[in-house]
């Protein structure tokens, strides 16, 4: 299948379906006005009297309906503003600790970690639902607060290959921005449902007024009853069309996510066999009273109802499998509890010739490098898998626990200081004795740690650090700052760690809001572009002439005239931080041009160092453009 054609078709269809949703809301406005007009005509005692229903009343009713829908939608959306964790807990999910050693949970955590690092995305939290069915979902307002939920049956009935296919499917939803749309659909549907709820409460209130009714007010009560019944019909009619549109949006995006999973893993069998096992097992239903509300976001149909055939949020299993595996014989697979999970082992490393070929394929142009952004491939996933299992065991284990991950970061920063003792002294004043002792215990391993492990360790640590309380995180930030400033200077390596780490955690804990798109052209932020390209050019070029040539190579990708090269001596990291914050406000279609300029600067001398690619990856992360690690870049 052609992934890009499928993506384009699904997105075009989704745009039309969203337009139909807007038209459905307009239909509710019209139906409500017709209902009130009918009640007005029914209640009018003098047929010759002029009608009080006018265009002004029509406008007021229309505004009232819009405010009702908007208010209800806003309320529901705000209640889900806590991110994916709110939805996971709403469905009865329990957080799987990052340090879990239970074999099946550990395998799931490993798969998610590998997939996230290979995609350059934040590692999502994982929630476990008690259901024995096979299902999963991704939820959140942004990748920074995304979670992935899986049922117990997914853990026990799927092997690693199948699990990887399901997780790749969910990562597609994260990468394509489906999660935010899912939450908005929940909010809009709630707003529409309020119309029916008002009608229900009107009818319910009439039960308490019937005892005092008489012949004089009987007509009024009948009119009120008609109003309540009519609003219920309108509300549930709106819900009918809303659910239909929601399910149609979901079906298109499920096809896209399936094709993405195949594209990411280059393995049809993983996701196809997972779907076949759903067909050959007890199904994919989720036993939660809130399951229908998020039905459009599951890996497979999560609810069973009378209207399932009409409101199915997912294509039939047979069609999904056939699209992935055209040669399928139509037989589902038996779903049994999986066997003991073998320990993760290191496979034979890629040959030098293969590495060179991969490097050449990626480094021939900036366009090819930027084509990696927001995507996965089999080589990167396998590379990250090998990278994680060959990390120093002490540090890898430390990165998976919220307490020891802090000590890991402290030690990583301490070894970058000119005076280790001064940095440790500052640290001791801001942490307890146990944390200080653990930090010192990591220093030996950290001093000899290979460069290729540092950024992956940071990414693993970020996932564990999300389990901190807000107060613990604030104290962690203070301690980090004290270490960095202990030598009264901040170097580039320290900045990469601090910016990469703190920005993602700030977003997770709500201290930093996602950047809003503002600038449609690079020339609107030309000073910031010059600062960024100058920094990259200076990283590995002590000779200012060569640095300037690299800077000019990057400029050619921007179409901006008059950018001035800045020497390393003139740099201030505060200026760099402000520049990145402003560049993050570029509109999405402009960001690739900036990243191409960054990569063109790096590729100018046809030699890429780990520090250069770590810098570009940090910049890409700050721009909300996840860039995966490349094996050729990270080999020592």
Go through the chain and tell me how many residues it has. 636
Token pair in block for residue 439: 């930090």
Dihedral sign from CA coordinates of 187, 188, 191, 193: negative
Please tell me the predicted confidence (pLDDT) of residue 412: 93
- Do 163 and 95 belong together in one domain? yes
- Do 616 and 565 belong together in one domain? yes
Residue 358 counted as domain residue: no
pLDDT-based confidence at residue 363 (cuts at 50, 70, 90) = very low
What residues does 136 pair with on adjacent strands? Answer: 150
Please check the confidence at residue 434 and state whether its pLDDT lies above 80.
yes
Contacts for 354 with CB less than 8 Å, ≥ 6 apart? none
Does 342 or 61 have the greater pLDDT score? 61
- Do 302 and 220 belong together in one domain? no
pLDDT above 90 as % of the chain: 16
Please check the confidence at residue 37 and state whether its pLDDT lies above 60.
yes
| Least confidently predicted of 141-145, 247-251, 273-277 | 247-251
- Do 553 and 566 belong together in one domain? yes
pLDDT-based confidence at residue 230 (cuts at 50, 70, 90) = confident
- Do 237 and 272 belong together in one domain? no
Q: How does pLDDT run across 551-574, given as a tens digit for each residue?
A: 888 888 888 888 888 877 766 777
Q: Find the mean pLDDT for residues 292-312.
A: 72
Please check the confidence at residue 633 and state whether its pLDDT lies above 60.
no
pLDDT-based confidence at residue 337 (cuts at 50, 70, 90) = low
**CB 633, CB 610: distance < 8 Å:** yes
Q: How does pLDDT run across 477-509, given as a tens digit for each residue?
A: 999 988 888 776 667 788 888 888 888 888 888
Burial of 569 (0-12, 13-18, 19+ CB in 10 A): exposed
- Do 471 and 600 belong together in one domain? no
Q: Find the mean pLDDT for residues 252-273.
A: 82
How many Cβ atoms from other residues are within 10 Å of residue 433's Cβ?
8
Residue 377 counted as domain residue: no
* Mean pLDDT over each residue of the chain, to the nearest integer: 79
**CB 112, CB 146: distance < 8 Å:** no
pLDDT-based confidence at residue 349 (cuts at 50, 70, 90) = very low
Residue 348 counted as domain residue: no
Please tell me the predicted confidence (pLDDT) of residue 126: 93
Residue 250 counted as domain residue: no
Please check the confidence at residue 441 and state whether its pLDDT lies above 90.
yes
pTM for this one?
0.77
Residue 213 counted as domain residue: yes
- Do 421 and 470 belong together in one domain? yes
Please tell me the predicted confidence (pLDDT) of residue 312: 72
Residue 379 counted as domain residue: no
Residue 227 counted as domain residue: yes
| Least confidently predicted of 109-118, 143-152, 177-186, 523-532 | 177-186
- Do 404 and 487 belong together in one domain? yes
Last residue of a domain, one of 307, 324, 341: 324
- Do 496 and 407 belong together in one domain? yes
Please tell me the predicted confidence (pLDDT) of residue 194: 77
Please tell me the predicted confidence (pLDDT) of residue 339: 55
Q: Hey, what long-range contacts does 13-19 have (CB within 8 A, 24 or more apart)?
A: 13/252, 14/181, 14/249, 14/252, 14/253, 17/245, 17/248, 17/249, 17/252, 18/245, 18/249
Q: How does pLDDT run across 574-618, given as a tens digit for each residue?
A: 788 888 889 989 887 788 888 888 888 888 877 777 777 778 888
pLDDT above 70 as % of the chain: 81
Q: How does pLDDT run across 382-406, given as a tens digit for each residue?
A: 878 888 888 999 999 999 899 999 9
Top mean-pLDDT range of 111-125, 174-188, 257-271, 343-357 = 111-125
CATH number at residue 306: 3.30.2010.10
pLDDT-based confidence at residue 172 (cuts at 50, 70, 90) = confident
Residue 550 counted as domain residue: yes
Q: Residue 171's domain spans which residues?
A: 84-180+267-324
> Three-class SS string for 434-490?
HHHHHHHHHHHHHHCCCHHHHHHHHHHHHHHHCCCCHHHHHHHHHHHHHHHHHHCCC
- Do 161 and 277 belong together in one domain? yes
Distance of CA 14 to the CA centre of its chain: 19
Please tell me the predicted confidence (pLDDT) of residue 597: 87
170 classed as catalytic: yes
- Do 75 and 91 belong together in one domain? no
Please tell me the predicted confidence (pLDDT) of residue 436: 93
Token pair in block for residue 106: 């550990």
Please tell me the predicted confidence (pLDDT) of residue 340: 60
> Three-class SS string for 223-254?
HHHHHHHHHHHHHHHHHHHHHHHHHHHHHHHH
Please check the confidence at residue 620 and state whether its pLDDT lies above 50.
yes
pLDDT-based confidence at residue 181 (cuts at 50, 70, 90) = confident
Residue of 113, 162, 170, 612 marked catalytic:
170
Does 415 or 46 have the greater pLDDT score? 415
Please tell me the predicted confidence (pLDDT) of residue 353: 39
- Do 412 and 503 belong together in one domain? yes
Q: How does pLDDT run across 190-225, given as a tens digit for each residue?
A: 777 777 777 767 776 766 555 455 545 555 677 677
Could you give the strand order of the β-sheet that contains 94-95, starting from the edge strand earlier in sequence? 94-95, 125-129, 147-151, 136-139
Q: Find the mean pLDDT for residues 230-239.
A: 74
Quote the longest CA-to-CA distance of the chain.
99
Please check the confidence at residue 96 and state whether its pLDDT lies above 70.
yes
Please tell me the predicted confidence (pLDDT) of residue 128: 95
* Number of domain units in the chain: 4
């Amino acid at each position: 299948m052609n992934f890009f054609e499928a993506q384009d078709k699904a997105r075009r269809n989704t745009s039309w379906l969203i337009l139909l949703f807007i038209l459905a809301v307009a239909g509710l406005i019209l139906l409500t006005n017709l209902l009130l007009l009918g009640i007005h005509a029914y209640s009018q005692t003098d047929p010759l009297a002029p009608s009080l229903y006018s265009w002004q009343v029509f406008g007021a009713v229309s505004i009232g309906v819009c405010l009702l829908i908007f208010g209800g939608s806003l309320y529901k959306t705000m209640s889900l503003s806590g991110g994916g964790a709110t939805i996971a807990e709403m469905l009865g999910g329990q957080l799987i600790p990052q340090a879990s050693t239970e074999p099946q949970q550990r395998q799931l955590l490993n798969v998610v970690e590998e997939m996230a690092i290979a995609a350059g995305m934040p590692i999502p939290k994982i929630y476990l639902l008690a259901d024995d069915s096979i299902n999963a979902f991704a939820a959140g307002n942004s990748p920074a607060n995304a979670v992935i939920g899986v049922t117990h049956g997914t853990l026990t009935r799927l092997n690693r290959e199948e699990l990887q296919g399901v997780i790749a499917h969910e990562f597609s939803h994260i990468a394509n921005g489906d999660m935010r749309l899912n939450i908005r659909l929940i909010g809009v549907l709630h707003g529409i449902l309020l119309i029916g709820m008002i009608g229900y409460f009107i009818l319910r209130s009439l039960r308490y007024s019937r005892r005092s009714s008489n012949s004089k007010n009987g007509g009024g009560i009948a009119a009120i009853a008609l109003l309540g019944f009519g609003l219920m019909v309108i509300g549930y009619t709106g819900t009918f069309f809303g659910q239909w549109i929601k399910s149609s949006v979901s079906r298109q995006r499920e096809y896209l996510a399936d094709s993405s999973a195949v594209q990411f893993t280059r393995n049809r069998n993983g996701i196809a066999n997972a779907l076949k096992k759903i067909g050959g097992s007890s199904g994919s239903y989720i036993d939660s009273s809130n399951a229908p509300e998020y039905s459009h976001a599951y890996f497979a149909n999560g609810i069973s109802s009378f209207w399932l055939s009409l409101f199915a949020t997912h294509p039939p299993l047979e069609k999904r499998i056939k699209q992935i595996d055209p040669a399928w014989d139509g037989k589902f697979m038996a779903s049994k509890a999986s066997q003991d999970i073998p320990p993760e082992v290191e496979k034979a490393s890629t040959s030098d010739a293969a590495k060179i070929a991969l490097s050449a394929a990626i480094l021939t142009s900036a366009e090819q490098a930027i084509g990696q952004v927001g995507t996965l491939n089999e080589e990167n996933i396998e590379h990250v898998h090998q990278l994680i299992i060959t990390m120093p065991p002490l540090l890898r284990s430390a990165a998976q626990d919220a307490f020891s991950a802090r000590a890991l970061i402290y030690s990583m920063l301490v070894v970058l200081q000119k005076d280790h003792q001064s940095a440790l002294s500052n640290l001791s004043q801001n942490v307890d004795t146990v944390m200080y002792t653990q930090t010192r215990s990591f220093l030996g391993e950290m001093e000899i740690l290979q460069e290729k492990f540092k950024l992956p360790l940071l990414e693993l640590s970020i996932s564990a650090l999300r389990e901190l309380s807000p107060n613990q995180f604030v104290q962690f930030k203070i301690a980090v700052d004290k270490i960095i400033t202990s030598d009264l200077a901040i170097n580039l390596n320290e900045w990469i760690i601090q910016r990469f780490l703190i920005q993602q955690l700030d977003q997770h804990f709500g201290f930093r809001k996602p950047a809003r798109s503002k600038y449609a052209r690079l020339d609107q932020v030309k000073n910031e572009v010059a600062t960024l390209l100058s920094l990259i050019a200076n990283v590995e070029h002590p000779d200012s002439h060569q640095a300037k040539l690299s800077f000019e190579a990057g400029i050619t990708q921007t179409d901006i005239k008059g950018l001035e090269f800045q020497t390393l001596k003139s740099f201030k990291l505060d200026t760099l931080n402000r520049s990145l914050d402003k560049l993050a406000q570029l509109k999405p279609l402009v960001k690739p041009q900036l990243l191409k300029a960054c990569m063109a600067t790096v590729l100018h001398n046809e030699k890429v160092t780990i520090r250069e690619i770590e810098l570009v990856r940090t910049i890409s992360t700050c721009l909300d453009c996840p860039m995966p690690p490349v094996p050729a870049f990270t080999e020592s």
